[in-house]
Amino acid sequence: MPHVHVDELRDAAEARLRESGVRAEDARIIVEHFLTATLWGRTSHGISLRFGYVLRQVADGAGGPVPRIVDDEGHRFVMDAQHGFGYVAAYRTAEALIERARRHGVASAAVRNAGHTGMIGHYADMVARAGVVAVMFANCSPLMAPWGGRRALLGTNPITFAFPAQPDPILVDMATSAISYGELSERADAGETLPGGRALDADGEPTCDPAEALEGALLPFGEHRGGALAVAVQLLAGALTGSPSVPDPGAGYGLLMVGLERGVFAGAQHYDRAVAEFIERYLAVPARPGMEVRLPGSRRYRSRRAAGEEIEISDELAELLGLNNDGERT
């Protein structure tokens, strides 16, 4: 598979989207999201797997609508994605959330009528790097069965927290399903099996075959505990935001964002000292044999630093972008 310099890949991918009719700024936002996922080691949300999906969205008209704020109380606002790109709506909402949280101390935003937003950890990281604590919840179409159930009703329903810290935010970003849908698709493509307790087949029976699971349902992590969290996220991102409680595939997704400026309660200096002290004490805890004590999110940031400036891409993506083995457009 070709290895392409990050800058060359960014330019080629943005150009391909613009050629398809996507606005230049939207293309930049989408491609940066995919590159971040790839460099973080989250290939299930990365450019090789997701770029073709976005081109299909463009063909279906997702590139036309422009997200807009439809209800605005300053510290609280509602963003209507108008069934366009979820990536763009979520990015624009995160930008506005930062500004509102800095102005009011606490801000909240509801996103409705969105398509797939990708990794909400990407937006939480962006907010935290601006000095704002982020809390986010997202839903999607049915992919996961309620604990004890035989068919899908819940989304994978990620929950995310991001705390400003040095050198990188403390990032808690996890699906409430035992495995993400993107990882499931990757395992199916690679012909790999699943660990037990991750999924059901079309008949509602446990399966370790990812191809069967794609026709069935995922299971929540932590059994009934993860299932309960998934219900909470479904309602926070759906009913509370004005989105459907159970959205249709690819549309009507909801996203709830809350931002708290890091000094809102005790001052930024106290926050920074307290977080630095916590990190020092946390990382000083002796590790068990064969294990590592690491902060949530640190694996992603470590992956980014180790990745260098070249990305391995699939042959299919290289063909889509018209790239040769040297990363140049043909």
231, 237, 242, 247 alpha-carbon torsion, rounded to 10°: -70
Residue with tokens 């899908």: 152
pLDDT digits (tens, 9 = 90+) for 243-274: 999 998 878 999 999 999 999 999 999 999 99
Q: Is the pTM of this model over 0.85?
A: yes
pLDDT digits (tens, 9 = 90+) for 121-174: 999 999 999 999 999 999 999 999 999 999 999 999 999 999 999 999 999 999
Contacts of 297 (CB under 8 A, 6+ apart): 121, 125, 162, 168, 169, 170, 171, 172, 173
Give the phi and the psi of residue 133 in degrees, each rounded to 5: -70, 135
Q: What DSSP state is assigned to residue 154?
A: B
Which token pair is 149? 């159930």
Other beta carbons less than 10 A from residue 252's beta carbon:
20
* Residue from 205, 187, 49 nearest 118 by CA: 49
Q: Could you tell me the domains of the chain?
A: 3-62+310-321 (1.10.1530.10), 65-176+220-284 (3.30.1370.60), 178-218 (3.30.60.50)
Q: Are 88 and 30 in contact (CB under 8 A)?
A: yes
The residues facing 133 across adjacent strands are 260
Find the angle CA(71)-CA(73)-CA(76) to the nearest 5 degrees.
85
Q: What is the reported pLDDT for 326? A: 55
To 10 degrees, what angle do helices 47-59 and 6-19 make? 10
pLDDT digits (tens, 9 = 90+) for 32-49: 999 999 999 998 899 998
* pLDDT, averaged across the chain: 94
Helix, strand or coil, per DSSP, at residue 38: helix
Tell me how far apart the alpha carbons of residues 208 and 317 are, in angstroms, rounded to a whole number: 29
Tell me how far apart the alpha carbons of residues 57 and 55 are, in angstroms, rounded to a whole number: 5
Active site residues: 44-45, 183
Which token pair is 254? 């909801």
* Residue from 14, 34, 16, 21 nearest 63 by CA: 21
For 43, 69, 122, 216, the CA distances from 181, given in Å and listed in that order, are 12, 30, 17, 12
